[in-house]
Structure 1
Amino acid sequence: MIKYPQMCSVMKLLICSLFIACLPLIGVAQSCLPGGITLTSQAEIDAFPQNYPGCTEIGGNLIVDELMNGDILNVDSLAQLNFIDGGLIIRNNTGITNIDGLSNITAITGSLQVESNSSLLHLHGLSSLSSIVYSCHIDNNDQLEDLIGLSAINEIPGFFDIEHNDGLLSLQGLDNLSFVGEYFTVEENSSLVSLSGLEELDTVGGFYLINCPIGNLSPLSSLETINGPVLISFLPITEMTGLDALTHLESLVLSNLNMLTSLGTGLLGIDSVSGNVWITQNPLLQNMMGLDSLRFIGGNLQIQHNQVLESLNGLEQLVDIAGDFQIHDLQMLTSFQGLNALEFIGGALSVQQFYPGGCRPY
């Protein structure tokens, strides 16, 4: 017969064992859905807490992508989530106006994609997100006016695309972003008049600014390093001032800048470009002043279709062009003054223009 004290010990042992077995269910983050999950209806979102009670971490991608137009209106029932071991993808939802139900997510190990949500007004629901392991894509959200909600993010190791958001007025919300590892692209945002919000941006892997009504580059004054190509095209800027902290570029394309009259001071610090320099289709640009420190171009130099370019003044320090040098369709150019220091062209020299009073082909 078991004596009473022994009985007590056995009961305590059983209770302790039960408590230990239940620990994963009590106050400890639980991972679920190792293959991720795609939610295609409001009903699936609303049922998430019942279907996955206690689940705070998803082991793969979380995708919210409605099957029927206008079905998904909110993601409020996903508030229990705080970590995504994969990508967070919110796309093709026509009725959703906010993503506030994601406000407890602090980190994702994949990419953030917010794409083609035609009624989405803001990103406030991402205000706790401080870590993105790969890329960020904010594309085709017609009603989105700013990026407030991304202020906890200070680096994006991969690509960062902000494209085709017709209602976007500024980049406010990126105030703490200092690093983008791959290309940073701002393209076809038809209402974006300012780069305000990028004042802390220090390093990018490449920079594409294309077809936005951005009036100046002054918010980029902290940008010191661009490790890839720079393409600036179809912007109504009048000068390049704002890139003053740069000293080296991998490549540079300035094209179809219809209001550009001067390169200003923004490129004065550039002493070398590893690859190509293309300055083309800028109908009001009068000279090359602003490239006064440039000594070496590792690729081709193309100066083409700048209708009122009168001189090459500004290139007085240029000594070495490793590739081709092409001067085409410069109707007002009458001399090569400004190239006095040029000693070496590694490729072909091509001068083609046939305008009265201008240079002739060689």
Structure 2
Amino acid sequence: IQYNNTLGICDARSICEYLVSPNGSVAISGNPSNCSTKEQIEDACAAHCLVEGIVFTSQSEIDDYQINYPDCNSIEGDVTIMGADIENLNGLSNLISIWGNLTISQNPLLPSLVSLNNLDLIGGDLIITGNENLISFSGMSYINSIYGNLEIIGNNIASLNGLYNLESVWGDLIIKQNPLLVDLEELGNLIYIAGNLDIGINASMTSLNGLESITNIGGSVEIYENALSSIDGLQGIASTGENLVLSGISDIVDLSSLNSDLSIGANITISSNPNLLNLEGLENINHINGTLSIENNLSLISLSGIGYWVSIGENLSIAHNPELANLQGLNYVFGVGGDLTVFDNQSLDDISGLHNISNIGGLLSIHENGSLTSLSGLGNINPGSIIGLSIFNNGLLTTCDVQSICDYLASPNGTIEVYNNYTGCNSPEEVEAACVSQCLPNGITFMTQEQIDDFQTDYPDCTEIEGDVEIEGNTITNLDGLINIQLIDGELEIHDNNQLSSLLGLASLSSINGSISIHNNPQLSNINGLNSITNIDGHLFVSYNQNLVNFSGLVSLTTIDYSFNVSFNDALIDFNGLYNLISIGNLFTIDSNPALEDMTGLNQLENVGGSLTFFNNTSLANMSGLESLTSVGSNLYIEDNPLLASVTALSGITEIGNMLYISNNDAIASLSGLDSIQPNSITDLTITNNETLSTCHVQSICDYLISPNGTILIENNAPGCNTQTEVYDACWVKVNEASAIENKIQIFPNPAKNTITILNPSKVEIKEVIIYSPSGSVILQKKSAVNTIDISKLQPGLYFVEVKTEMGNVRRKLIVE
């Protein structure tokens, strides 16, 4: 045992027994005190005692311990403390190590563990349960690892004071049924849990703060039935070995506090969260090994936030969510390994968000959904992957004749239950009859004007096309023969039609359950004809339409569930026609549209779920039209727009989900307009090769430079924004000359040793005070109104103090002596 710089405990039983009767060589050196020589380890081993452990049931047994067991400060076995009259543990003050479990249970008079303050090793579980007067964990301050479970159950503690040096738990961490426990702040140094994290039924717990440093959980994370207003504190957890359970959390509205790179080893259960509105926070998970259950969330209105989940290894269950109207958000799920169950969602009237699922491995069960009228969205499931079919008690369900159901009924692999739905879907026989009259389940391709003109003759009464529709032909001049089409259950592709000048023949089309692609139609100047489309379940691609001027014709469109790509449209001037577009589920790319001047027409757009990219639009002068935009889910990417002079129209954006990238925009002089972006939502920052850009010191950039979340590259811009240092200096000038003068806030004394006082003569409200290291790391944070701050624990050196007030933020340098 040699040259282990932090090794301080070597007297494990196996080592002790080996040194008594060695089978070979012994070499012990270069370790810290207590473990640096063979003799030191033997001395520690000699102090071991009570191999079978000990149980204390009375105060007298505690008091007599050192008399009955002189020099016994390292107990080999388990220690149990359980006594109705035990008031203190003073008699155990000599204990240094317990190699087994330590259980402190059912001691109604015990207020403190302070007498255990010499204990620095627990080799097994630490179980503290049912101590109704225990108010503090003082006495545990030398414990930095627990080699079994840590169980804190059924105590009346208000905090975990005393556990602040704990760094790892090699079993489960269980904290539940502690009615007065408010938060977990004292666990701020905990970084690893090998087993489960189980926090539940703590009636006063309003915060999980204190868990921020934990990065990996070997087992499950289960958070349930606490009084939490958010799940802040879980953001550091990047992976769980097993399940994620979030249940009975009364006040959370989304899951945005979860780590953006979270990986789940088994199941995800989101249940009984009465105020949960959506699933934002799960965007970057792309696979679940186990089951996804979303159940009993009374206010859930959207599954947005699920993002790019490709597959679910076992079951998918959506049940008892009374306000959920559709399943948009599951659009990227391609496979379910077990049962697919949609049960008792009384507002659910649209399941088209399931249209990309091609395989399941179990029962397909749709029942008790009172508003559902159609199974459109299930048509792409391979019928051979369906093991059983249950469709019942959906009172308004009349359309069940989607392709997968029809094919399954023709050649079933298992049970069939179809009953108590509406006419047309009230029995297997009714569904089979409807299947016979299906229209073009494999789709259709139109390549000539003659095919268009003859459509109604060739397919009489075909108003709803089950498959994809492709329109591609040099002779096609109009689509008038398609005027009866009302629904396309697949994709719509209109491309390479050299003579097509109008889409008015599609005027009856009101629903498309897939993507729309409009590509290389040189005579098309607008999109009139798609006026009834309100939602696009897939992507919208509009590219290489040389005469397209605007988006007139999409006036009813409110949401695009996936990406919106607008590229290489030579005549496109603006986005007029998209007046009602509110949300784009994924990427929004504006690329190489040489006549585009601004973004007029997008005035209602609030959210882009993925990256927002402006690239090589040579006439784009400003972003007017995007004033309502508040969030971007991934990168904000602005590059090679030579006339772009202003981004002020982006002033409503408060968060992005990844990189802020601004490069090669020759005319831009200022980043004013990006001020409101929350700096912690920026992962990386690149500002390069903008030859007139001199003003980069907007609030979001300044705050990011103080506490960066990732890389920073600032170069080859105009003076003032040519390097990171130039921007940083400009930020300080801005704050010191503006905010400090306005608020008259000072820090005294400076330099300081023990405390500092915030002088606030103008009496503005101070919301938060943060002390940063020179590298930008948060050293100390006070989130309530304070005047005096203890800095006695800070090392001498330079720090930065940021005072956040109702009138703005003030930053000051602080010298600690």
TM-score range, shorter chain: 0.7 to 0.9
Q: TM-score, normalised by structure 1?
A: 0.75
Residue 693 (structure 2) pairs with residue 309 (structure 1): yes
1:242-321 aligned within 5 A: 242-250=625-633, 251-264=635-648, 266-296=649-679, 297-315=681-699, 318-319=703-704, 320-321=707-708
Residue 704 (structure 2) pairs with residue 325 (structure 1): no
Cα distance in structure 1, aligned partners of 2:489 and 2:776: 47
Cα distance in structure 1, aligned partners of 2:703 and 2:479: 52
After superposing the two structures, state which structure 1 stretch, 57-66 or 109-118, moved more: 57-66
Deviation at 1:64, TM superposition (A): 1.6
Deviation at 1:278, TM superposition (A): 0.4
Deviation at 1:124, TM superposition (A): 0.8
- Aligned position for 1:64: 446
Matching residue's letter, 2:539: F
Cα distance in structure 2, aligned partners of 1:119 and 1:128: 22
Number of equivalent positions: 291
Matched-pair contact (CA < 8 Å) for 2:559–2:582: yes
- CA deviations over 1:126-163 (Å, ceiling 9, x no partner): 11111111100000111111100000101001110000
Residue identity over aligned pairs, in percent, reads 26
Matching residue's letter, 2:559: F
Matched-pair contact (CA < 8 Å) for 2:554–2:578: yes
Residue 522 (structure 2) pairs with residue 142 (structure 1): yes
Matching residue's letter, 1:332: P
Deviation at 1:189, TM superposition (A): 0.4
Say which SS state the counterpart of residue 703 (structure 2) adopts: coil
Cα distance in structure 1, aligned partners of 2:489 and 2:730: 52
1:302–1:207 Cα change, 3 Å: same
Cα distance in structure 2, aligned partners of 1:312 and 1:131: 45
- Aligned position for 1:11: none
Deviation at 1:345, TM superposition (A): 6.5
1:1-362 aligned within 5 A: 57-65=439-447, 72-73=449-450, 75-79=452-456, 80=460, 81-91=462-472, 93-205=473-585, 206-212=587-593, 213-235=595-617, 236-250=619-633, 251-264=635-648, 266-296=649-679, 297-315=681-699, 318-319=703-704, 320-333=707-720, 335-336=726-727, 337-340=729-732
Matching residue's letter, 2:501: L
Matched-pair contact (CA < 8 Å) for 1:314–1:338: no
Matched-pair contact (CA < 8 Å) for 1:288–1:315: no
Say which SS state the counterpart of residue 566 (structure 2) adopts: strand
Matched-pair contact (CA < 8 Å) for 2:686–2:714: yes
Say which SS state the counterpart of residue 321 (structure 1) adopts: coil
| Structure 2: 5+ residue stretches without partners | 1-400, 408-435, 736-769, 778-817
Structure with higher RCO (Cα < 8 A, 6+ apart):
1
Cα distance in structure 1, aligned partners of 2:529 and 2:643: 33
Matching residue's letter, 2:592: N
Deviation at 1:268, TM superposition (A): 1.1
| Structure 1: 5+ residue stretches without partners | 1-29, 36-53, 67-71, 347-362
Q: TM-score, normalised by structure 2?
A: 0.34
Deviation at 1:331, TM superposition (A): 4.0
Cα distance in structure 2, aligned partners of 1:249 and 1:95: 42
Matching residue's letter, 1:87: D
- Structure with larger Rg: 2
Matched-pair contact (CA < 8 Å) for 1:232–1:255: yes
1:185–1:338 Cα change, 3 Å: farther
- Aligned position for 2:391: none
- CA deviations over 1:302-338 (Å, ceiling 9, x no partner): 0011011112132366344311011121143363245
Matched-pair contact (CA < 8 Å) for 1:31–1:58: no
Matched-pair contact (CA < 8 Å) for 1:195–1:217: yes
Q: CA RMSD in A?
A: 2.6
Matched-pair contact (CA < 8 Å) for 2:520–2:544: yes
Deviation at 1:232, TM superposition (A): 1.0
Cα distance in structure 2, aligned partners of 1:145 and 1:247: 31
Say which SS state the counterpart of residue 57 (structure 1) adopts: coil
Cα distance in structure 1, aligned partners of 2:552 and 2:684: 37
Cα distance in structure 1, aligned partners of 2:697 and 2:402: 64
Cα distance in structure 2, aligned partners of 1:331 and 1:293: 23
Deviation at 1:31, TM superposition (A): 11
Deviation at 1:293, TM superposition (A): 1.2
